[in-house]
Amino acid sequence: MTEPRYPLDGAMPAMLRSGKRLRGVFNGLPSPAIVEMCGYAGFDFIIIDNEHGSADFGTTEHMLRAARASGIVPVVRCFERDIPRILDMGASAVQVPMVETADQAQRLVDMVRYPPLGKRGSAFSTRAAGYGAFGGAGHTQRSNDGISLIVMIETPEAIARASEIAAVEGVDAVFIGPNDLAHAMGHGSDWNAPPVQAAIAQGLAAIVGAGKCAGIIALTPQDEDKYGALGACYFANVTTSVITKALAQAASAGRDATLRY
């Protein structure tokens, strides 16, 4: 009998501990096809964006199925209140926005881990447990071993506490949200403003110093190299940015060429 293919992909914790550069994308489009395309394109992970995206829970579950089928590790960015349902759907990781204290990070750890590591409620009738086919102690262990918690720090207060947030046992990675950080610092959307970049560098150093994987948005290879030199290894682009740029290039190609008959 062959080894069962569990609905839950447990590769993320080891990936985050590897120190290797990981490249993924935020996706707010409610489309399993986009998830598959990102998998086939070779991205390491996809962040299904339930903070700013429009997918409902049913579509989110289909997107998680698409991720499993195409071999890409699915992370779901979601609000704290949605963590139990997202994990029961089979997410490999949750990425939670606007974490500002170690106490808040600890509360999230408790929601993600089953006892004795946390306080997650147990149910084996869910997709994550194969609708009961892979439930029981095995599912509990696979979940505690294989699900990652990624917290986002997006304010000056959170940057100042980055070391203690990252040091919370059970937090696997800390992701700096540069756009919200820039807004919170009074620089609008200009996250390249020198004070914002200094805060990002401070946050990345604190996260790495605490022994955790540091993440950030990287829209270009130059961004990835810049932040990689500061210790980041979990990089995310944005599907809508990539698609819109490609469509604009296709729409303008040859437009200025002189027609000859």
- 97 with 105: CB under 8 angstroms? no
In whole angstroms, what is the distance from residue 67 CA to residue 208 CA? 29
Which residue, chain included where needed, has tokens 């008959």?
Answer: 261
Closest CA to 238 of 30, 23, 25: 25
* Whether the Cβ atoms of residue 150 and residue 173 lie closer than 8 Å to each other: yes
Note if 52 is an active site residue: yes
Nearest one of 161, 174, 176 to 216, comparing CA atoms? 176
Q: Which of 52, 62, 139, 187 is catalytic?
A: 52
Please identify every residue annotated as catalytic: 52
